[in-house]
Structure 1
Amino acid sequence: MPANVVVIGSLNMDLVTRAPRLPNGGETLIGHSFATVSGGKGANQAVAAARLGAQVAMVGCVGNDAYGVQLRDALLAEGIDCQAVTTVEDSSGVALIVVDDNSQNAIVIVAGANGAMTPAVIDRFDAVLQAADVIICQLEIPDATVGYALKRGRELGKIMILNPAPASRPLPADWYSSIDYLIPNESEAAALSGLPVDSLAAAERAASHLIAMGAGKVIITLGAQGSLFANGTGFEHCQAPTVKAVDTTAAGDTFVGGFAAALASGKAESEAIRFGQVAAALSVTRAGAQPSIPVLSDVQGFKSA
């Protein structure tokens, strides 16, 4: 079946070390454990959408190394169409992650093959985009490619979602008119708007600013406080389900993938937001990134604690 959700973005191998604390400069620590886990915001969101009911295609780049094979295989195992996952002459993207006993972390990301995602790659797989209902982008590939993908998706009349992660500065002004749903977290909303986002009222001000910039609708994810939906005429604060959190890794990616899957299935916005929030809540009850993402039956059977 043609994919109804297409994700354009990053694929990274997460190299995760657990240690008693984060090391100081020049210091060597003895760690507790080490694991390699498939990740990258693009791949995480593709896995979330697939597990939550969508037909998904991934557009991205991996390196000609063992990690590239593993990253592709992980997506194929989820039933994701990988015809547009291109192997390039580079190392695959990696994230070097140290997590301490208090769950604080330090992360270094090396883009590797993700840096080879150019507008030409988007053009090469234009037929994949044409078949979609919803297209998702993030910011772990070159900005020029993100901007090109947004513009092309708008030309095709698709529902365009931008998860501006990781964002440290305002978006290019000409992107906003191509975005149907802008989905930042609190820190990203602050970086994009230049306004503090430290309360619900502050989130409303930031969302209003982003809509004034041209975004169609804004959903600011607020962690345990749920999310704020803004459409230019009003706001809706959507409470998060109550769960016992273990690890918040990939909760935002799970929300985005779940929201997109719900929209592609024909759910109304409010239903899609609730669906994404339940999926994200379930993800924080489990450790890891992709391993923590729930499947459709988990969400359908969820009962808040």
Structure 2
Amino acid sequence: MTNRTPAVTVVGSINLDLIATAERLPTAGETIGGGMLSEQPGGKGANQAAAAARLSGSARLIGAVGNDVNGQRMLSALAAAGVDTADVALLPEPTGTALIVVDRDGENQIVVCPGANSNLSLDGVEFHPAETVLCQLEVGLPVVLEAARRHTGYFVLNAAPAMDLSAELLERCDLVIVNESEYALIPALAEAKLVAVTYGGDGSAMFEHGRKVAEAPSAAVTVANTVGAGDAFCAALVLALRQGLDYARALAVANAVGGDAVGDSSSQPVLAQLGHYVERTAVAEGAR
């Protein structure tokens, strides 16, 4: 860890995204022709760290890639985004890969082959109490629980993909972030102290112990790719809350960032500084 405390420290996955864009998503057993193939950096952990670095100027990622060409490509992309990758391990396993099909409306189907992500270890990694730590569930749940136990400061979980979560982990979370379907699939979240839920084009809301305490609408956007939008939302929401914005304003800022991300075909889109979105949402609020 560097001497400078990063705005956000992310513990999470790093993948190469192989994206096939087609007119529509295939049904079971169906083959669809005419697709366009692209490769780009991805993984929920890497996406969130890249977004946090672009929004705030600093972020640290704790993760793992293979000691292979794809691993070097992922590290180069993260460095270009401004992410501190000193705690990204090079492992013998191949770099994680996500196979993604995206339709003309930006909806997607994803299969993740975790590779090196499955062997992520926190051995030798240090956490500072002043750090804000953000985890997801594309790495092993035991790693996430270890991070929650070892870090004594502000701890955030993006509970995706949805799975059963222990009472110990949920109690440790200062904030949980999920989408609407994940919220429905994890009933225990109804008792969590603070949960942010995204509803796609219908905006987002904040819940305290199952009671809605704030909400914010989404702006109308042209959808290019939804893969990295939720990750950009997570990074922005965490940064906005840690800067002291109230729940409604923080949700509005995160919605604006997610809107810019969904309009970009990249899983790690270029974003403006967080202050730009704070000002933009203030102007929009004043116009209503």
Q: How many residue pairs end up in the alignment?
A: 279
Aligned partner of 1:165 in structure 2 is 160
- State percent identity of aligned pairs: 35
In the alignment, does 2:117 pair up with 1:114?
yes
CA distance in 1, matches of 2:117, 2:91: 9
CA distance in 2, matches of 1:233, 1:95: 33
CA distance in 1, matches of 2:216, 2:242: 23
Query: Does the Cα contact within 8 Å between 1:241 and 1:277 map onto a contact in 2?
Result: yes
In the alignment, does 2:274 pair up with 1:280?
no
Structure 1 residues 235 and 25: alpha-carbon distance in aligned structure 2, compared to 1, 3 A threshold: closer
Deviates more, 1:242-251 or 1:142-151: 242-251
Say which SS state the counterpart of residue 36 (structure 1) adopts: strand
Q: CA deviation at 1:264?
A: 3.6
RMSD: 2.4
Match runs of 1:171-190 below 5 Å: 171-190=165-184
Q: In structure 1, give the amino acid aligned to 2:189.
A: L
> Structure 1 length as normaliser, TM-score?
0.83
Match runs of 1:195-274 below 5 Å: 210-212=189-191, 215-232=192-209, 234-247=211-224, 248-274=226-252
CA distance in 1, matches of 2:111, 2:270: 21
> Structure 2 length as normaliser, TM-score?
0.87
Q: In structure 2, give the amino acid aligned to 1:109.
A: V
Deviates more, 1:57-66 or 1:97-106: 97-106
CA distance in 2, matches of 1:251, 1:16: 15
Q: CA deviation at 1:242?
A: 2.0
Gaps of 5+ in 2: none
Q: CA deviation at 1:272?
A: 2.6
Q: CA deviation at 1:245?
A: 2.9
In the alignment, does 2:56 pair up with 1:53?
yes
Q: CA deviation at 1:235?
A: 2.2
Aligned partner of 1:201 in structure 2 is none
Correspondence for 2:70 among 60, 67, 71: 67
Structure 1 residues 179 and 20: alpha-carbon distance in aligned structure 2, compared to 1, 3 A threshold: same
Aligned partner of 2:144 in structure 1 is 146
Q: CA deviation at 1:108?
A: 1.6
